[in-house]
């Protein structure tokens, strides 16, 4: 549908698995969602209140960045989003 309605649209090619560490965080997130589908995705316009803690793990997507919020409201950031997944996995142990 996107191609039909916008002929100037150019699809962004997927980043190869070997280069995930150097990819933009938002392009890595779909692969991480495949690995951990229980971590929900929320966007800036969702107005997530972290003051009381969301009670679950969340990916927070804002322009140019991806954060990981823990159940207690702590927010983690790294340019390498796979490092954030390790934070989640280590906390789950």
Sort 68 into a burial class: Cβ within 10 Å, 0-12 / 13-18 / 19+: buried
For residue range 56-86, what is the model confidence (pLDDT) as tens digits?
999 999 988 999 999 999 999 998 888 999 9
For residue range 9-38, what is the model confidence (pLDDT) as tens digits?
777 777 777 776 677 888 888 888 999 999
Sort 33 into a burial class: Cβ within 10 Å, 0-12 / 13-18 / 19+: middle
Interatomic CA distance for residues 67 and 76, integer angstroms: 6
Q: Domain residues of the chain, as ranges?
A: 23-92
E strands, 2-93, in order:
40-43, 58-62, 65-69, 75-77
pTM to 2 decimals? 0.77
């Amino acid at each position: 549908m996107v191609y039909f309605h916008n002929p100037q649209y150019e699809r962004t090619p997927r980043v190869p698995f070997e280069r995930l560490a150097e990819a933009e965080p938002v392009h890595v997130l779909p692969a991480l969602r495949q690995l951990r589908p229980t971590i929900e995705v929320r966007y800036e316009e969702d107005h997530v209140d972290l003051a009381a803690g969301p009670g679950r793990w969340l990916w927070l997507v804002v322009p140019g960045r991806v954060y990981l919020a823990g159940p207690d409201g702590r927010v983690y950031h790294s340019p390498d989003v796979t490092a954030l997944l390790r934070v989640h996995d280590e906390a789950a142990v």
